[in-house]
Chain A
């Protein structure tokens, strides 16, 4: 029983990380049809600069962690918005070029990060409570999992409220359905594009800081490795569906944890098989729009 609880809550924590990356990917694809392979770079730079700020303030304090999270989110948002404005905007409806540019940016940014921060992992110091455990039904759960879950839920609620109750949220929801018709109502949908990139980048940057706590370090490759699973989550959840991304994040991460424990470390294989099954049986994903 305690093992199941441990795997479940750890899976939820990992799912929270996947969601922070996948939410932006899903919104960006849903509104703009852009498969953004550079999304992991927003996560990595958010993590690096977030922890740089934390280190200079007060290593290991809650105050420094909060500063790191805010900085990570801001940096992720800025870099993402700049990417949309300077690179992607000229390439809408040119999918091959989009893939080439975003893949190129991802590769170049990893080289840039390694040039600045080195190729070795940079270990982070977080508040001591996060390194401790709490016992639930006999399972000793690392405390940082709780924080990951709480932050991801808060991000999900914030995005849902934004989409539901703001003018731009309305434009984004409409744009996900029919972008051209939004412009035909006299709305400059390009502003919404930049905003969605910024929101996705903020979630990724925040996710980068939290991923560093989860893994205990930050490296130039942390965004790329999470991006692979975030893409899988996005496809399984249904491209363009925020709720689908949230559900699929949990399902994929929990499946991964259970398979790793009970099936001899086959978590990644199980996730890929789940992806294949979804593509074969329900190609639009769990909550994706019909083609």
Chain B
């Protein structure tokens, strides 16, 4: 097992130490420790139900948590969620969670944290949203809603993006567009990515952190996992060429 990556605190935007998370009294994250470097994409992986989403929510304070979470050298584990986000964390939740009764424009406006949001980037990445400004977000397709969700995070100058299963339930074409948008975003902001689609992981991830039973069981460079089919089978429960890994992603 590799555990040698990203131990230099000065180059990590996020450090997580001994993180525990609970939902309604149930332990869903157990003694998780890992780092997210200040560049590139770190993929948080694991089988279904191992606590990936709960780990992201614990970092943000969306569920009860204990442990140490440091963002850019500053402890944030005792801050409420909105203050953690205000320090420069963009969040793209699982299942998009757009506000269905608000228009696309209102969803984006709500997410703007500064007087100078990066609308040009959003319009470049998601031109379809420009045409749908006045449309209620609840009437958009799943792919369009995912674009709204991503756009809300990319509007602001963030120091870290937490992106939770952005390709879940999307068609291969939209998966490609989402992956492309994340690839562009990753040039300017580090990303902690929860993802099930192996092909997307191969395309985006520089490093991986694997959870099992709420704990970290593997960390390392992406190739240390993805180039070893037996590790993929052991840690993720899929064959390297099977399942969602077959989704088409443009290079």
Docked complex: A158-201 residues within 8 A CB-CB of B: 170-171, 173-174, 177-178, 180-189
Q: Is the CB of B113 within 8 A of A186?
A: yes
Q: Contacts A181-B99, A185-B85 given: A174-B110 contact, CB under 8 Å?
A: yes
Chain B residues in 8 Å Cβ range of A177 = 99-102
Q: Is the CB of B99 within 8 A of A174?
A: yes
Chain A residues in 8 Å Cβ range of B85 = 183-186
A170 to B113, CA, bound (A): 14
Shortest beta-carbon distance, B157 to chain A, in Å?
A: 12
Question: A186 contacts which of B62, B86, B100 (Cβ < 8 Å)?
Answer: B86
Q: Is the CB of B102 within 8 A of A174?
A: yes
Q: B96 — nearest CB in chain A belongs to which residue?
A: A181
Number of interface residues of B (CB under 8 A): 21
A218 to B215, CA, bound (A): 63
Q: Is the CB of B99 within 8 A of A189?
A: no
Q: B149 — nearest CB in chain A belongs to which residue?
A: A181
Q: Contacts A178-B99, A184-B93 given: A170-B109 contact, CB under 8 Å?
A: yes
| Main DSSP-derived SS at the A contact region | helix
Q: Contacts A184-B81, A184-B93, A186-B85 given: A173-B102 contact, CB under 8 Å?
A: yes
Shortest beta-carbon distance, A190 to chain B, in Å?
A: 9
Question: Chain A CB within 10 Å — which of B81, B97, B111 has the most?
Answer: B81
Docked complex: A7-64 residues within 8 A CB-CB of B: none
Docked complex: B143-157 residues within 8 A CB-CB of A: 152, 156
A173 to B80, CA, bound (A): 21
A171 to B156, CA, bound (A): 18
Question: B93 contacts which of A181, A187, A189 (Cβ < 8 Å)?
Answer: A181
Q: Provide the B77-113 mask, 1 if CB < 8 A to any CB of A, else 0.
A: 0001110011000010100010111100010011101
Chain A residues in 8 Å Cβ range of B62 = 180, 183-184
Q: Is the CB of A184 within 8 A of B101?
A: no
Q: Provide the B132-167 mask, 1 if CB < 8 A to any CB of A, else 0.
A: 000000000000000000001000100000000000
Chain B residues in 8 Å Cβ range of A180 = 62, 81
Chain A residues in 8 Å Cβ range of B60 = 184
Chain A residues in 8 Å Cβ range of B91 = 184-185
Q: A188 — nearest CB in chain B belongs to which residue?
A: B82
A169 to B113, CA, bound (A): 16
A170 to B112, CA, bound (A): 12
Q: Is the CB of B97 within 8 A of A189?
A: no
Q: Is the CB of B97 within 8 A of A185?
A: no
A187 to B91, CA, bound (A): 13
Chain A residues in 8 Å Cβ range of B80 = 183, 188
Q: A189 — nearest CB in chain B belongs to which residue?
A: B82
A185 to B112, CA, bound (A): 8
Q: Is the CB of A178 within 8 A of B110?
A: no
Q: A171 — nearest CB in chain B belongs to which residue?
A: B110
Q: Provide the A234-278 mask, 1 if CB < 8 A to any CB of B, else 0.
A: 000000000000000000000000000000000000000000000
Chain B residues in 8 Å Cβ range of A181 = 93, 97, 99
Question: Chain B CB within 10 Å — which of A174, A181, A186, A189 has the most?
Answer: A186
Chain A residues in 8 Å Cβ range of B102 = 170, 173-174, 177
Chain B residues in 8 Å Cβ range of A178 = 97, 99
Q: B109 — nearest CB in chain A belongs to which residue?
A: A170
A186 to B113, CA, bound (A): 7
User: Could you list which residues of chain B lie within 8 angstroms of chain A, going by C-beta atoms?
Assistant: 60, 62, 80-82, 85-86, 91, 93, 97, 99-102, 106, 109-111, 113, 152, 156
8 pairs across A/B with beta carbons < 8 Å? A170-B110, A177-B100, A178-B99, A180-B62, A181-B93, A181-B97, A183-B81, A185-B110
User: Could you list which residues of chain A lie within 8 angstroms of chain B, going by C-beta atoms?
Assistant: 170-171, 173-174, 177-178, 180-189
